[in-house]
């Protein structure tokens, strides 16, 4: 049983989807959780209430991770509320899919700034307190698109590939202080986004996945909880694919 009792976590983009599942899984395992959200206050309040119903402390902080000051604010708020940060999960992300020849510069920039720059800003903000504590777990949510590329997702694939590089560089820099950095790479997962896909496309994606189904947000969250735990203390710089065998490397 993974035990995160007494641990304090920060999750970016924690109000819905995979982020919400991660927040709830960490709380279920015993952690207090602060999470950022961009705009959906109702969803954030509901997630915070669900954490508190589990007997853990919750802190919802509104902010856009593309703003370095907002990244610093969520970390500062968590430190003020909890006293320390043991776990950081960089989950916040968006898609703006299009073919390269049609992709706008804004669509390219916005995805890179949210999915990659945002993770850097938050990682930078937690580095000093984790170094002082000589411990910490950083888990980045990348994607199979970052491992293998995806048609119509040049921006998203580039950002998620960059996140893998950031994970490995972070792991090397911080290892001497007992801090680990790893990534989780989901494949096709059942979320609000994928629920609206055309039936034919859904069937094609399932057919491409060796295990023959979509994953669940809970399965992704379980992997994050493991990497955030003491059981994973000797794992760093790794990318754990939660993809039903879609990408085998």
Bridge partners of 240?
184
Q: Are strands 87-90 and 58-62 parallel, antiparallel or unpaired?
A: unpaired
The answer to whether residues 58 and 32 touch, using CB atoms and an 8 Å cutoff, is yes
Contacts of 157 (CB under 8 A, 6+ apart): 143, 145, 146, 149, 150
Is 156 marked active-site? Answer: yes
Catalytic pick among 37, 156, 188, 226: 156
Contacts of 201 (CB under 8 A, 6+ apart): none
Transcribe 161-208 into DSSP letters. HHHHHHHHHHHHHHGGGTEEEEEEEE-SB-SHHHHTS-HHHHHHHHHH
User: Could you list the active site residues?
Assistant: 156
């Amino acid at each position: 049983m993974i035990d995160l009792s007494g641990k304090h976590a920060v999750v970016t983009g924690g109000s819905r989807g995979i982020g919400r599942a991660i927040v709830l899984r960490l709380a279920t395992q015993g952690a207090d959780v602060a999470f950022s959200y961009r705009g959906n206050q109702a969803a954030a309040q509901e997630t915070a209430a669900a954490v508190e119903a589990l007997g853990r402390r919750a802190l919802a902080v509104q902010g856009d991770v593309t703003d370095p000051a907002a990244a610093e604010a969520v970390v500062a708020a968590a430190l003020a509320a909890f006293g320390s940060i043991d776990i950081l999960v960089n989950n916040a992300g968006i898609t703006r899919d299009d073919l390269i020849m049609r992709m706008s510069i804004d669509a390219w920039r916005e995805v890179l700034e949210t999915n990659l720059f945002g993770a850097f800003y938050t990682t930078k903000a937690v580095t000093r307190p984790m170094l002082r504590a000589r411990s910490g777990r950083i888990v980045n949510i990348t994607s199979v698109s970052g491992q293998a590329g995806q048609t119509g997702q040049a921006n998203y694939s580039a950002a998620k590939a960059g996140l893998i590089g950031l994970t490995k560089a972070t792991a090397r820099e911080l290892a001497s202080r007992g801090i680990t950095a790893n990534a989780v790479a989901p494949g096709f997962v059942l979320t609000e986004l994928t629920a609206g896909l055309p039936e034919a496309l859904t069937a094609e994606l399932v057919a491409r996945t060796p295990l023959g189904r979509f994953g669940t947000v809970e399965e992704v969250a379980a992997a994050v909880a493991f990497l955030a735990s003491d059981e994973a203390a000797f794992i760093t710089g790794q990318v754990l694919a939660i993809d039903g065998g879609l990408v085998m490397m």
